[in-house]
Amino acid sequence: MTSVLSEPPQWTHDELLQWANEQMKQGVPRQIVCNYLLNWGSKPLLFEEKEAALKAESHLFGVMVDRNLNGKALEAVSEIDRAIALYENNISDLFAGDYPYDRLRVIYTKRKQFAEAIRVCKAFVEIADMFIEEGSQRADLKPKRGKFISWIEKLEKNHPEAQNH
């Protein structure tokens, strides 16, 4: 997941955030940058450098968490299109939690946008597979992956016209 990233020039908080922003401008998803920082790249780091990496990762990951929280708040006041935009941003950033994928699945299903619901379910399965393949310690991924596969099967069975979009 991290092979496309360049090495940060320095492992200070500000330098890491600047480096992360450059990576994301080049199209590297935010979650990939976060994972890189959590794994400390390819070199041994000093304690201060590890601390800076954890702080930068927390900041970057916090953006995605805030999107989910803001999306939830927007849904509560029926600003569904704005919530969708936030959740879709997290999917583009390969967010490793199921929340935005599940919310979009529910929203798109209610709107009878079944191809979109299938798309976001498949996106979660791909993310879960990526993390599982890399040996992630997240025990929650396999059962959640199974639920999303079940939803895909149900959506495709009940709405075969949505499969080819």
- Among 44-48, 79-83, 131-135, where is mean pLDDT lowest? 131-135
DSSP designation for 41: T
* Residue 18 shares a structural domain with residue 82: yes
- Residue 140 in this model has a pLDDT that exceeds 90: no
pTM of the full predicted structure?
Answer: 0.91
Residue ranges with strand state E in the chain: none
Do the domain assignments include residue 2? no
Are residues 94 and 60 in contact, defined by beta-carbon separation less than 8 angstroms?
Answer: no
What is the rounded CA–CA span in Å between residue 24 and residue 119? 23
Find the domain containing 163 and state its range: 96-165
Res 153: pLDDT? 96
* Residue 86 shares a structural domain with residue 103: no
* Residue 141 shares a structural domain with residue 85: no
* Residue 146 shares a structural domain with residue 87: no
Q: Of 60, 93, 126, which one is at a domain's C-terminal end?
A: 93
Q: Of 93, 109, 144, which one is at a domain's C-terminal end?
A: 93
Do the domain assignments include residue 55? yes
pLDDT digits (tens, 9 = 90+) for 97-109: 999 999 999 999 9
> How many domains are there within the chain?
2
Res 1: pLDDT? 45
Are residues 145 and 132 in contact, defined by beta-carbon separation less than 8 angstroms?
Answer: yes
* Residue 58 shares a structural domain with residue 82: yes
Region 15-29: mean pLDDT is 95
* Residue 70 shares a structural domain with residue 130: no
* Residue 87 shares a structural domain with residue 101: no
| Tokens, residue 117 | 């619901």
Q: Of 48, 64, 93, which one is at a domain's C-terminal end?
A: 93
**pLDDT above 90 as % of the chain:** 76
- Please provide the distance, in angstroms rounded to a whole number, between the alpha carbons at the two ends of the chain: 27
